Every structure is written in structure tokens, then in C-alpha cells.
Structure 1
């Protein structure tokens, strides 16, 4: 597709918190031009007025009256698939916010439709555009850590009480907890760093707030490459060990640069993220021997800004999606497995797990 000389013409659908962020990034990016905002409510007028662009009440109206080069879908999760299918039918490349759909079945329909039509579909797992994760991925792929053995992740933070009053209190109900709202970021980040997940075991608790939705979850992950991982998640913990609070990439959160939220350990060394503290063995690995310790320097950039620039390159046909619809679907499958395991108390195998599941010398439970 050929964009206008003034930049790739992009419309943002949804004028909520993340929609406003996208609109600002599209307007600021030299490679893109914000041409419309779609939202039926007064927030749509406010965002459109701020950037001096037309406001449409529906995606159908936008596609009928002014077909853009690309669309960013920042609507509620339940509307992702229908909006994505409309864009695919119109032949418009689409960046859909995470998750790619509200169910695996619905998301599969969207992904398969986009692939059949040859229309680029990107999923807004923006951490894939983080320079920190990109450098960490290079370190892992380069073999500096040796064979990955263990992965430890945390997302521990405290949501204030008024967070649960938004939108009629839907966050107090099943589906409004940190598993479906926050863990999707972590799962995609770990998949990008470590590889496919083939088995999940999870448990959740509502002990702090006593709501019909969890406030804490513990997850055990088995990766296809043989590594085992644990992830501890809570939105009721007075702790700074979350990506937002440690990475410094979102300035709306206080920064705790001395903390880490991921630790990758291999047979030759380990890496803590986002401090990027790298420790490698000076000889044959032994707990009695010292490590060579270094801090990997990484230039910083806002991942959302990088994501918009990448979207423009995909629209122009100059790049393949860093996080495709198929990638987003794989992450959603893991999340669905977490929900299922927490509900049943049993481990859940992912598609293809029977052929790929490693044992690391230990046979998994039946």
C-alpha cells in the first residue's frame, strides 16, 4: 500500500485511556498522520478537537466516508474481533490493542480472516518494542546465558480502591482481575524472551479484597525449550516489582530503577530485567565460584512511539509485524490456559504440547 507523502494516514478507534495515548503518538510521529477519531461518546469529540481531525461515531461510518491507510483499534476487548473483521473486509491494515480477542475462538476467526485476505494484523503488545526487552532477547538468543533453565517473573503492585469503581464496577466481577487485565502483558513478554509455553499450572486467591474476582495469582510455566518458569501476580501488594514501576518507560508511574521484575537463569549466567544486571560464570559453573558482573547499557525509547513507527512501516510494506495476529493468538491461548487451570486446579497443556513438552529429567504429572 502506498501512503501519502505527508505520512501514513491512521485513524484511532476508541477514545479511552489507551486510545488517547495512541492518538497522541500517531499525531507526534513524523511517519504518520492522525486523520480521524472514532468514538460515540463525548470523549471522541474531545480527542478529535484536540488534534483538529474529524470525529466519527462508528467504525462503519469511518470506512464508508474516509478509508484511512491504517486503523488502531483501542476499543473494549469485546469489540476487538468485530472491529478487526470490519477492517479486514475493507482491506485496511489494523493494529488491535491486546488482547487480540476476548475469547480464543473469536480471536481465531479474526486471525484466520486477516491471513486469508492478506491484510496485515498487528496486536498491541507494545513491550515487544521496548529496547530493554529487545536487548534481553538478543542476549538470550546469543547464548550468553547458556541453556535457559529457570525464569522468574513478578508483577506486584497495588491498585487503589477507586480503580474498581470505574465503569459501573465491572472490575469487581470475574474478568476484571489482574489475570485478564495485566497478565496478558507478562505472558507475551516472557513468550517473546523465552519461547512458546507448552504447559500451565495456576492458582488464584481473593483473600485480600474478598471480591468475586482474584487479586493474586501464582503460575508455573513449562516452556518448549526446556526452561521452567514461575510468575507471581498481585494487584493488592504494596510492592514496586512490576514492569511499569521498574522499567521507567511509562512516566505516569513512580520509578524504582533498583528493582527487577524478571530474572532469567541459564547454565552459563543470568540476567535481571530491567536493571540489566548480567552475571556470567568465570569458569565451570559452580556456586563456590565468583561471577563476572556487568550492567548492560540500553538506550531508552517509549515503546508506544516505536510501535506506531513500526505500524507505519508495515502499512508501507517495508516490515513484517513484530507482533502479528498469530502471535497475539498464541499469547491469548496461554492466558486462557491460566484461567482454566486456576478454575480446575489441574495443569493445562497448550496445542502441540504432547510433542514438544520437555521433562528436564522429571516426568510431569499426568
Structure 2
């Protein structure tokens, strides 16, 4: 099979992660890097591919089969429009855009032109999430009732010193980290219809939140609670429990989600399952059947790139569409609004 030529725009941390995945892919190959920064010169030289200062320069030299846009958020809309105008399929890193209004504009053009756009919510490609969805859909948990989630971790002082913008509005964990969790929750429980939240900056004292307690109502009637903090010395986060990113130390005895239904519960990512064997035996005085759902762990970034190849070749519709990206951003902005106003925000 002929390999697809994939360019990567943005040679920062996430861009380099995509470059590493492409170096191991049997369906795609890195064909170019687009980045005007001097630091990108070494990255391109090491990868052995040409470096272009702009998308226009790349397209003038020859259009790739697809492109990964791993650039800063404020560039997502103009660069995505440029790619769609050129007819180049894209894997656009989350969030879909810097603001909901920009995201809606991008979605409108993508749908009108039938552009091939995959939004980079890579956890959607996690085999853990796929198996959890399978368990929920199978009815083993009964009617889904609730979900409890946690993303609690400690960001070191150097994280803020190297990027002082992270101490200012827009730099807190709601807009930086929570959008990953929103997509996970939507995958597991469906669309979110209302949110409320309390936020605090009492620990670090920055002009932005460091801890947030969130309540969620899903369109299905499921209720959820979520604890978010970047100053809590805790291992209850996806990165520290899923074993999917080798950059993080992981703790296989910890979970960060608990799904509960009328017949049982499932903890993620350990996949510990507790169910009642018969309807007539459901009682807190009765014992659960206890087990672990079998599954194979794999790198979601690698699986995402393979799916992008399918999208480029017309073999699959994007697992995470522009519409999904907009809805994730909409929920995240609603949580920020709820924390600021103290009101229940409908979505």
C-alpha cells in the first residue's frame, strides 16, 4: 500500500508527538513541517523533511495528502479555512477554535464544503473508552444513572514560570484541560444539557482558577459530578491512570471515572465491574458479582493517525467531527460561565 504524505503544522510539544507517531506508521509518512519559528529548523532536519514557513508555501510546493494542524488555538480558524480552500484533509488539534463563535464558523464551512476534518480529541480513539462504551451499550450496567469523574493533578511551578499566560484568565484548567474530559463524558453518557460549577483560586492565588467542582445534567437524564484541579497532589487523572502516555507515571490501582447504572457499575480505566446477577437480587445487602472487563491497551495517538488515513481515503467518516469539536467547546465555555456567575447554564 502506498503511504500517505502527511505534513505537520506546528513543531511544538503536540506537533512533535504527531511526528513521532508518523515515524512509526505503516500507512502514513511525514512529508513536511510547517513552522516559522527558528526552533523548527532542527526538528525538520532531524526528521529529514523540508520546512516551510507557512501553509501557502507548503501548498505552492505541492499539496500533501493530509495535514495535522498542531498550531496555537488562535490560528486554528484561519489555517483550517486555508486547508479547506485548498482541498487538503486535516487533523485539527483540539480545541477546534479559540472561541465558540470561531468554532461555529469553521463547522459551517466544513459542512458546506464536505471537507474531511478530524478533530484531535485523541482519547476518542482510546481502546479503554471504546470498551467502556461497549459495556454501557450492552446493558450490563442497566439504565445509566450517574457518572463521577476526576482530573486532579499537580502542575509544578516551572509550568507557570515558562508560560506566565497560564496564570491569567484563559490559562486555567477549565480551558486547558477540561475539554478532554468533556469529550470523554459525552462519549460515555451522551450530550450534556446543563452545568453548574464552583471555582477557586485559593491555593495558588493566581487570577485564574486552580480548582473547580462541577455538576452536569445529561440529556438522557444521567447526572454527573466532576472534580478538576491542577494543584491537587493526586493521581486521579486520565494521564496518571490510563497508562496511555509514557510521559506520566501511572498508578494501576487508581480510577478517574465511575459509571453507575441500575444493575451495576464500571470503574475506568481499571475496568473493574460490579454487577447484580439477577434483578430480584439487587440490594445493598446483596453481594455483587465482581470482575474486570478484558481489553487490550494501545496508544490512542497511533490509532487516531490510522483513522485519519481512513478519513483521507474516504473509508470512514471522522470519529470526532467539527460538530463534535464545537459541542465540546460549547460545554467547556458553559462551565467557565457557570463558575463565573454561579448560575446553572443550559446548553
- How big is each residue's C-alpha offset from its partner over 1:29-83, in whole Å with a ceiling of 9 and x where there is no partner? 1100110001111232122111110000111211222211111000011111111
User: 8 Å contact 1:200–1:348 — kept in the other structure?
Assistant: yes
The residue that corresponds to 2:292 in the other structure is 295
| Number of matched pairs | 345
The residue that corresponds to 1:85 in the other structure is 81
**CA positional deviation for 1:297:** 1.5
The residue that corresponds to 1:273 in the other structure is 268
Alpha-carbon RMSD: 0.9
Residue 102 of structure 2 is aligned to residue 68 of structure 1: no
User: 8 Å contact 1:183–1:335 — kept in the other structure?
Assistant: yes
Separation (CA, whole Å) in 1 of partners of 2:193 and 2:42: 45
The residue that corresponds to 2:214 in the other structure is 219
TM-score by length of 2: 0.98
Separation (CA, whole Å) in 2 of partners of 1:187 and 1:138: 19
Separation (CA, whole Å) in 1 of partners of 2:297 and 2:51: 34
Unaligned runs of 5+ in 1: 351-366
Mapping 1:112-123, distance limit 5 Å: 112-123=108-119
- How big is each residue's C-alpha offset from its partner over 1:296-321, in whole Å with a ceiling of 9 and x where there is no partner? 12101100000001001110111111
Residue 204 of structure 2 is aligned to residue 200 of structure 1: no
Q: Which moved more, 1:76-85 or 1:264-273?
A: 76-85
Separation (CA, whole Å) in 1 of partners of 2:14 and 2:166: 17
Residue 132 of structure 2 is aligned to residue 136 of structure 1: yes
**CA positional deviation for 1:347:** 0.6
Separation (CA, whole Å) in 1 of partners of 2:118 and 2:39: 25
Q: What SS does the corresponding residue of 1:229 show, helix, strand or coil?
A: strand
**CA positional deviation for 1:202:** 1.1
- How big is each residue's C-alpha offset from its partner over 1:67-104, in whole Å with a ceiling of 9 and x where there is no partner? 11111000011111111111011111111101001111
Unaligned runs of 5+ in 2: none
- How big is each residue's C-alpha offset from its partner over 1:285-338, in whole Å with a ceiling of 9 and x where there is no partner? 211110001111210110000000100111011111111111111111100100
Q: What SS does the corresponding residue of 2:19 show, helix, strand or coil?
A: helix
**CA positional deviation for 1:282:** 2.4
The residue that corresponds to 2:92 in the other structure is 96
Separation (CA, whole Å) in 2 of partners of 1:275 and 1:57: 44
Residue 180 of structure 2 is aligned to residue 185 of structure 1: yes
- 2:311 alignment partner, one of 314, 320, 323: 314
The residue that corresponds to 1:346 in the other structure is 343
